[in-house]
Amino acid sequence: MKLTTSSLFGKILGLDPALRQPNLNEVFSLRHRDAQSVILLSKNGLLLTIAEQAWGRGPNRILVERIPAEPFSLPLDGWTLASDSITIPGEAEPISLDGFRLQPSENLAAVQDFPGHMRNALNRLRRQFLPDLESRLADLTSALQTPLTESVEIPLLSVLGRGDGLHPAGDAALCGMMLTGRAMTFGKRLRSDWLPRLLTEIRRFFHRTTKVSAAFIRFAAEGRTNDRQEQLFAAMARDYEGVVETALINLANSPEGPAWAFLSGVRAALEMVFTGLDLNRNLMVSGPFPIIRPEKK
């Protein structure tokens, strides 16, 4: 029986315009499937996700009406993505990607002022975070704030790839850190000098995690977000208490990825930025050197 887009996925409801690159011709293999998503990876490390509408928009994502039930066999290899179509092995004709709603993943908000409400809300949620991961992130953030280049390697390797599954919790936390740093960089008021250093070190050790997770890390390094992450950083930029709480709950209930680990990484990054603010505030108050005034006679 020939496969058809309607029999497998129903209607296409939207896609990331990043998938419409000129001269694109990638062949994918099936890496994961569940009740709501199908994850494909090419030999070049390009990730493609086909997901139900409940997932919302995201990097390199095609949203569809439904995902075929688990007993239905999907082809393991030979899925081909071109700039205007996707071909499923066993289907006679490519599925056109023209004319569908474009849902970009490059919508990361610029955070200009320090989000105190967001920081406080995350600190209240610390009981939900993994203690072991929190400890490792503390070591990493401490290393990132020291001038010694080699000091970052060991604490980073204790986080990268840490956990189970295609996208381990440690990697999700690193994504949270990187996106927070990107949002601060876009805002141009808050310093995140640690971010370039973190990005450089992570690129050296992609081989220490899964290929799928490395792709998710690249998305975060580029500042690309899924729907719920986008809402979280938009709330961070506004920093109204009610808006912050809603965005946190929404992301915590996400059907994709280790959401609590991601938020743990966001919190770790905010603590670094806050520490930098505190240091700058002390310098502004006291000055770099004490002022010695002559005694009155």
In a domain, 104, yes or no: no
The pLDDT of residue 149 is: 65
The pLDDT of residue 89 is: 85
End position of a domain, from candidates 68, 96, 124 = 96
The pLDDT of residue 99 is: 86
Range of the domain at 205: 116-285
Report how far residue 189's alpha carbon sits from residue 104's, in angstroms, rounded to the nearest whole number.
Answer: 26
Mean pLDDT, residues 153-171? 96
> Are 269 and 183 spatial neighbours (Cβ–Cβ below 8 Å)?
no
Pairwise pLDDT comparison (195 vs 289), residue with the higher score? 195
Q: Which helix (H) or strand (E) holds 286?
A: helix 259-286
Report how far residue 228's alpha carbon sits from residue 177's, in angstroms, rounded to the nearest whole number.
Answer: 16
Q: Are residues 145 and 259 in the same domain?
A: yes
Using CB atoms within 10 A of its CB, is residue 238 exposed (0-12), middle (13-18) or buried (19+)? middle
Q: Are residues 276 and 183 in the same domain?
A: yes
Residue with tokens 């899964």: 210
In a domain, 242, yes or no: yes
Q: Are residues 63 and 120 in the same domain?
A: no
Whether the predicted pLDDT of 244 surpasses 90: yes
The pLDDT of residue 72 is: 76
Q: Which of 41-45, 57-61, 88-92, 95-99 has the lowest mean pLDDT?
A: 88-92
In a domain, 109, yes or no: no
Predicted confidence (pLDDT) per residue in 250-277, tens digit: 999 998 889 999 999 999 999 999 998 8
The dihedrals phi and psi of 130, each to the nearest 5 degrees, come to -75, 120
Mean pLDDT, residues 24-43? 94
Whether the predicted pLDDT of 286 surpasses 60: no
> Are 105 and 225 spatial neighbours (Cβ–Cβ below 8 Å)?
yes
Residue with tokens 């690129």: 203
pLDDT interval class at 281 (50, 70, 90): low
Using CB atoms within 10 A of its CB, is residue 157 exposed (0-12), middle (13-18) or buried (19+)? middle
Report how far residue 45's alpha carbon sits from residue 59's, in angstroms, rounded to the nearest whole number.
Answer: 14
Using CB atoms within 10 A of its CB, is residue 53 exposed (0-12), middle (13-18) or buried (19+)? middle
Whether the predicted pLDDT of 71 surpasses 80: no
Q: Are residues 191 and 271 in the same domain?
A: yes
Provide CB contacts within 8 A for 175, sequence distance 6+: 216, 217, 219, 220, 262, 265
Predicted confidence (pLDDT) per residue in 202-229, tens digit: 999 999 999 999 999 999 999 999 999 9
Predicted confidence (pLDDT) per residue in 91-147, tens digit: 767 888 888 899 999 999 999 999 999 999 999 999 999 999 999 999 999 999 988
Whether the predicted pLDDT of 295 surpasses 50: no
Average pLDDT, the chain: 89
In a domain, 279, yes or no: yes
In a domain, 107, yes or no: no
In a domain, 84, yes or no: yes
Q: Are residues 183 and 276 in the same domain?
A: yes
Percent of all residues in the chain with a pLDDT value above 90, rounded to a whole number:
75
Q: Are residues 173 and 258 in the same domain?
A: yes
The dihedrals phi and psi of 80, each to the nearest 5 degrees, come to -120, 130
Report how far residue 177's alpha carbon sits from residue 195's, in angstroms, rounded to the nearest whole number.
Answer: 8
Q: Are residues 153 and 216 in the same domain?
A: yes
Both tokens of 36, joined, read 């709501």
Provide CB contacts within 8 A for 146, sequence distance 6+: none
In a domain, 204, yes or no: yes
Whether the predicted pLDDT of 1 surpasses 80: no
Q: In the chain, how many domains are there? A: 2
Percent of all residues in the chain with a pLDDT value above 70, rounded to a whole number:
90
Report how far residue 265's alpha carbon sits from residue 176's, in angstroms, rounded to the nearest whole number.
Answer: 5
Mean pLDDT, residues 48-72? 91
